[in-house]
Structure 1
Amino acid sequence: MKFPGQRKSKHYFPVHARDPLLSQNKPQKKLARPHIIGIDQTLVDIEARVDEEFVERYELSKGHSLVIDDEKAEQLYRELKDNQLISHEFAGGTIGNTLHNYSVLADDKSILLGVMCQDIEIGSYAYRYLCNTSSRMDLNHLQPINGPIGRCFTLISDDGERTFAINDGMMNHLRPENISEKIFEKASALVISAYLVRCQNGEPMLDATMKAIEYAKKHDVPVVLTLGTKFVIEGNVQWWRDFLQEHVSVVAMNEEEGEALTGEKDPLLASDKALEWVDLVLCTAGPVGLYMAGYTEDSVKRQTSLPLLPGEIPEFNMYEFSRPMEKAKCRKPIKVYSHISPYMGGPEKIKNTNGAGDGALSALLHDMSANRYHRDNVPKSSKHANEFLTYSSFSQVCKYSNRVSYEVLMQHSPRLSRGLPEREDSLEEAYWER
């Protein structure tokens, strides 16, 4: 596993290197290799340039989103392919994007649970999904289906207007019996989205998701939920609050989703409110930047050396050099907050906003997994005197998530094609490595 950030200290890394202070005759044990697990609605984003007659012929509403059936979706796709109108085909799905980016950043394994076409034609959308997915993602647990996965068509007219046609296919047909308990034994996190638990019409995705949550709790694996869209939350706010409190350790959201969930427009206050139900919050707020909120043990809190920030909670980043913990594992829990402005003020030209939040979450997951990896292989390290959720502090995770979001905004695809450039050590990293 690649660890988040470049560190000068060689005391901890690599964990498999022989320590000259220890006996060289001592046998070297095999390294434990944790991974993360995600459940997703497997779909492909298909972008094409068409004229208005095309939009009208398929009875779509220009500039809006409509759900279309399998037959119409297949007919539309074939016409786009035959006339070479497709400009981009990207693997999509919020969890799929997150797992892919995690595997690119960590250079390590993630496991995707979902469905995939049993028969894949070369050049088809299902083929494109596999081509756009990191080889570090384990797809062996996908459930084969006799039908299409999800497709989201973005049809761009000559005037630049975007019309969306969405076909679910069989992406919500993952069955509970296809969830293997064994893969949860060494997992660092289970990642799900709000879309999964709101599936209806007799589709088995909800049951499959709840089965995965059951296994995660059994093996003490943190459950991470990304809210996805404010419209899903607005329909039943109290249901979501109860769901978070009962099942979720970490929630990722943007400022609109945070307002829908908590009623607080300010992202800092929304993050603070969400701590009533979860242990750790990651909140992206567009041009305002990125916030984190969570808990740590009072006796191990670390005061920041960075400037104290004003806000609805005065000097809220006072202890941002602390590391997150689950509230229930703190003897005397205190709330900790951190914030960072967009990296370099944000890209000069934003090519794609889709997936920036997923990128930020993948960085947080990388840090959580690095913590599990280090804890399993160096259990007596002073870094694990308490049961922390992440390897790095609130502040450092903010920096990392912010940097990954920037990379996603700079490219057309929501999926990273490479890791990040090497980053310089911070004073805080040197502090933790002492």
Structure 2
Amino acid sequence: MSAHRFDVLGLGNAIVDVIAPVDDEFLVEADVHKGSMQLVDQERAQRLYDAMGATTIVSGGSAANTIAGLSSLGGKGAFVGKVAADEAGRAFAHDIRAAGVHFSTLPASEGPSTARCLILVTPDGQRTMNTFLGACQNLTSADIDAEEVSSAKVLYLEGYLWDPPAAKQAFKTASGIAHAAGREVALTLSDVFCVDRHQQEFLGLMRDGFIDIVFANESELHALYQTADFATAVAALRRENVLAAITRSEKGAVIVRGDETWEVPAAPIENLVDTTGAGDLFAAGFLAGYTRSQPLDYCARLGALAASEIIQHFGARPETELARLADQSLYLREHSRAAEGA
């Protein structure tokens, strides 16, 4: 096994997020399903944008958010994702590099513009996403740098990449390179509607050995095993040869590996603003701990702490240095005290 340059390399959609607060009536009038992520064409994206009113624009993309969070926790991260050679693409590249993340994917010189995700946030903090994939769909196996993939401890794959066929092949190519180098591969299921589209294929990825670590929220797990009962879904998950981290919003998180289970409470918050990126940042914290060989329940607490920061403001990139937040966290110290008393 070669020496590692990165703790985690993320492969995902490079997206600029456009965020606006709206009421539930707006969602009805716009004919969108609350809490969902749906793909839209450029014309539909423009109509929604025109109706949104005042917006906040930040670089996003699920795996990119995770790697930015990892960097904020002091980890060494890299990201692979396709943008166009346009203003939004240059903004994305600038922002992710400014976050301390290695990003060397060449922009597309022709074809559709850089991807945008229009995020409608209702007063309860729930987000409804409308995504124009644009240049994201141009990601191919040619964009995979074998040396970069093989020098990361963990390859982190975004479930949304399973939609565009060329990106799906890039996903498989990168997984093969990582395993050949003795590395681990993680998959985030991304979205319940994404799981609905690809349920059998996602199960196949686990059962065929493409995936070692799975991240999901409770709804995604239910969709994966087509059951409304959490215990039934977890029992099915135990039979897969994976390490799984399941987030349950205010109920905390459950880590499952074979017959072993770790449950951790949610980190406390003062004000819920926007749940965009909560799962992405949970994965960031978990992987930051995991790549430092921390106990799995501590990894989950670090993930929950990172998620708690992100849901208290708009946007899915940290506004507070997460490493400093972790150093000051009573929530993390609770784990240390419990571990000392065990």
TM bracket (short chain):
0.7 to 0.9
Q: What secondary structure does 2:83 align onto?
A: strand
Which residue type is aligned with residue 222 of structure 2?
Answer: E
Question: Is the counterpart of residue 118 in structure 1 residue 42 in structure 2?
Answer: no
Deviations 1:349-389 (A, max 9, x none): 2111111111111112112322xxxxxxxxxxxxxxxxxxx
Aligned-pair identity (%): 21
Whole-angstrom distance in 1 between the partners of 2:341 and 2:105? 41
Whole-angstrom distance in 2 between the partners of 1:70 and 1:91? 18
Which residue type is aligned with residue 222 of structure 1?
Answer: E
Which residue type is aligned with residue 394 of structure 1?
Answer: L
Q: 2:287 matched to which residue of 1?
A: 365
Q: 1:91 matched to which residue of 2?
A: 59
**Pair 1:34–1:235, CA change in 2 (3 A):** closer
Q: 2:17 matched to which residue of 1?
A: 45
Q: Which residue of 137, 140, 149 corresponds with 2:104?
A: 140
> Residue 287 of structure 1 contacts residue 342 of structure 1 at CA under 8 Å; is this kept in 2?
yes
Q: 1:240 matched to which residue of 2?
A: 202
Q: 2:167 matched to which residue of 1?
A: 205
Q: Which residue of 137, 147, 150 corresponds with 1:182?
A: 147
| Residues 246-261 of structure 1 aligned to structure 2 (within 5 Å) | 246=208, 247-261=210-224
Whole-angstrom distance in 1 between the partners of 2:299 and 2:121? 37
Q: What secondary structure does 1:171 align onto?
A: helix
- How much has 1:272 moved relative to structure 2? 3.9
Whole-angstrom distance in 2 between the partners of 1:289 and 1:89? 29
Q: What secondary structure does 2:105 align onto?
A: coil
Which residue type is aligned with residue 214 of structure 2?
Answer: V
Q: What secondary structure does 1:243 align onto?
A: helix
Whole-angstrom distance in 1 between the partners of 2:241 and 2:282? 18
> Residue 19 of structure 2 contacts residue 121 of structure 2 at CA under 8 Å; is this kept in 1?
yes
Unaligned runs of 5+ in 2: none
Q: 1:151 matched to which residue of 2?
A: 116
Q: What secondary structure does 1:209 align onto?
A: helix
> Residue 4 of structure 2 contacts residue 153 of structure 2 at CA under 8 Å; is this kept in 1?
no
Whole-angstrom distance in 2 between the partners of 1:279 and 1:62? 34
Q: 1:69 matched to which residue of 2?
A: 41
Unaligned runs of 5+ in 1: 1-30, 296-334, 371-390
Question: Is the counterpart of residue 409 in structure 1 residue 331 in structure 2?
Answer: no
Q: What secondary structure does 1:117 align onto?
A: coil
Whole-angstrom distance in 1 between the partners of 2:4 and 2:156? 21
- How much has 1:128 moved relative to structure 2? 4.0
- How much has 1:339 moved relative to structure 2? 0.6
Q: What secondary structure does 1:172 align onto?
A: helix
> Residue 46 of structure 1 contacts residue 86 of structure 1 at CA under 8 Å; is this kept in 2?
no
- How much has 1:184 moved relative to structure 2? 2.4
**Pair 1:349–1:263, CA change in 2 (3 A):** same
Q: What secondary structure does 2:134 align onto?
A: coil
Whole-angstrom distance in 1 between the partners of 2:240 and 2:199? 13
Whole-angstrom distance in 2 between the partners of 1:405 and 1:55? 25
> Residue 108 of structure 2 contacts residue 138 of structure 2 at CA under 8 Å; is this kept in 1?
no
**Pair 1:185–1:162, CA change in 2 (3 A):** closer
> Residue 4 of structure 2 contacts residue 152 of structure 2 at CA under 8 Å; is this kept in 1?
no
Question: Is the counterpart of residue 278 in structure 1 residue 254 in structure 2?
Answer: no
**Pair 1:196–1:73, CA change in 2 (3 A):** same
Whole-angstrom distance in 1 between the partners of 2:159 and 2:126? 28
Whole-angstrom distance in 1 between the partners of 2:128 and 2:275? 17
Whole-angstrom distance in 1 between the partners of 2:337 and 2:288? 21
**Pair 1:109–1:236, CA change in 2 (3 A):** closer
Q: What secondary structure does 1:152 align onto?
A: strand
- How much has 1:429 moved relative to structure 2? 5.7
* Greater radius of gyration (CA): 1
Whole-angstrom distance in 2 between the partners of 1:251 and 1:366? 15
- How much has 1:118 moved relative to structure 2? 1.7
Which residue type is aligned with residue 286 of structure 2?
Answer: L
- How much has 1:43 moved relative to structure 2? 1.2
Which residue type is aligned with residue 211 of structure 1?
Answer: T
- How much has 1:33 moved relative to structure 2? 4.1
Whole-angstrom distance in 2 between the partners of 1:288 and 1:116? 36
Which residue type is aligned with residue 311 of structure 2?
Answer: L
Q: What secondary structure does 1:260 align onto?
A: helix
